[in-house]
Chains A and B, each alone.
Chain A
């Protein structure tokens, strides 16, 4: 579904932040990108989404080269849904308006139906459907941003640290929502995460970045059991 080949990227005239990344993510799978702060996880996601143009290498979606397409073009042509790390809702608009903004390219009849279905799935949002997004908690904003991406029926979902800053309870809820999406919609989910342990539990495969290179990759279950991985990123002996 998504293939990244030898992607190099950076900002402005600055140095390369990504030094030739290779990555594959298939439909119906959750692929997680792990790694320490500042190693280029968000940059990689922005390259795939189309906000940052790779300096070299290729990005393909469903077999088509999309390396130089802009973000808004990928939304329509390849069904990309992107949930950024910060600033992921329109704060002056209501919950309903935020979700409906995602439905710009969905047929009118289907819109309402999907909207109601999403509210049933996320009762936290249903209760606050007429509130402004600025009045939501961090976790509710994540759900709102997720709902806004989902109403568009994406084929590819890109999530940047969906659990950042959430309480453990809310974090579970968000991760649960994500694995439910895979089960229900069978779409390709690529997410960046800091909470490696919890993220690996719902993922199929994972990539660990380090200073712009892929340092480790493999099946999520293998990485969970990997002693090197345990000591480096999972904080020694993991809970559970």
Chain B
């Protein structure tokens, strides 16, 4: 049970990073990204490719950073004149394109089988101490990501993001370059999502295209909508809440003697129901955005 709890906490930390990253785009910048999971994939495949071609840990980080910067830049650039809802659809399509490329370019990515046997983060440790070490790493990276996000959104740049979300045309009229705000926001948050993917790959020791289905993106969306768009703690809380609920669904199933399909079905019901419920009845999520910013920038 204790080991299981550690595993759940590790997943909570990784999803928190994904949620923080998506919240920066959606909650602060108003960028309706439905392709978030592709950025996670960049980090995961950075780790996997470095392992497959025996390039070492540091090169893995470089590949992850490079891939995520490139994909984020592409996200920011596609349909640069599209309105936000159409842009959202384009991001969904782009994420699918990334997944399909990964599935089909088997010579490079291992195709549908993926790449397995990736080295753990702390190979010299084993068993419980290794798990605790993993948790410590995840917690530390999450903390760094959280502090970086808080710092960013309190800065002039963060104010620019909020203005872009509220009135993009007006933001340009007071001299903000919307395109560079958008690009910067995508690339910065892309790094956080890629960090989650990179650690995940080393933790699970396997990477495959099935980890990049768009349903994962909607799970992250549910986390930030429930937690509260535009609030960093809300995003982290939403991630922990959903991960804990998901972790305990199997126990509920066993207790009530329900069939195995119950677990998968319940996950979908919770994601969909949570999204709809909060959008209809509590727009601000559990932790509403703190309004008011510095306007002297």
Contacts and interface: CB of A to CB of B under 8 A. Distances in A.
A87 B167 contact: yes
B163 A101 contact: yes
B295 interface: yes
B177 to A, nearest CB: 5
A32 interface: no
Contact of A101 (B169, B172, B174): B174
B29 to A, nearest CB: 15
The residue in A93, A100, A149 that gathers the most chain B C-beta atoms within 10 A of its C-beta is: A93
Given A92-B291, A93-B293, A100-B296, A148 B174 contact: yes
Interface residues of A, number: 34
A72 B182 CA distance: 14
Contacts of B178: 72
A82 interface: yes
A73 to B, nearest CB: 8
Contacts of B175: 72, 75-76, 104-105
A84 interface: yes
Given A104-B175, A148-B174, A84 B169 contact: yes
Interface string A83-101: 1100111111110111011
A70 interface: yes
A81 B166 CA distance: 19
Interface string B75-93: 0000001000000000000
B127 interface: no
A49 interface: yes
A51 B172 contact: yes
Contact of B167 (A50, A73, A90, A105): A90
B174 A75 contact: yes
A71 interface: yes
B174 A104 contact: yes
B173 A71 contact: yes
Contacts of A98: 295
A76 B177 CA distance: 11
B172 A90 contact: no
B123 interface: no
B169 A51 contact: yes
B188 interface: no
A12 B170 CA distance: 21
B295 A82 contact: no
Interface string B128-170: 0000000000000000000000000000000000010011011
A35 interface: no
Interface string B286-297: 000001110111
Nearest to A103: B296
A91 B165 CA distance: 12
Given A72-B178, A96-B295, A100-B295, A90 B170 contact: yes
Interface in A57-75: 70-73, 75
Contacts of B176: 72
B178 to A, nearest CB: 7
A162 interface: no
A86 B173 CA distance: 13
Contacts of B293: 93, 97
Interface string A133-173: 00000000000000011001000000000000000000000
Given A90-B163, A101-B295, A49 B173 contact: yes
A111 B295 CA distance: 12
B169 A72 contact: no
Nearest to B291: A92
A147 to B, nearest CB: 12
A102 interface: yes
Interface in A159-201: none
The residue in A72, A76, A148 that gathers the most chain B C-beta atoms within 10 A of its C-beta is: A72
Interface in B243-297: 291-293, 295-297
Interface of B: 81, 163, 166-167, 169-170, 172-178, 291-293, 295-297
Given A72-B175, A92-B292, 4 more contacts: A84-B173, A87-B170, A94-B292, A104-B297
The 8 lowest CB-CB distance pairs between A and B, nearest first, are A97-B295, A71-B172, A75-B175, A82-B173, A72-B172, A100-B295, A72-B177, A101-B174
19 contacts: A12-B81, A49-B173, A50-B172, A72-B173, A72-B175, A75-B173, A75-B174, A75-B175, A84-B169, A84-B170, A87-B167, A90-B170, A94-B292, A97-B292, A97-B295, A101-B163, A105-B175, A149-B173, A152-B174
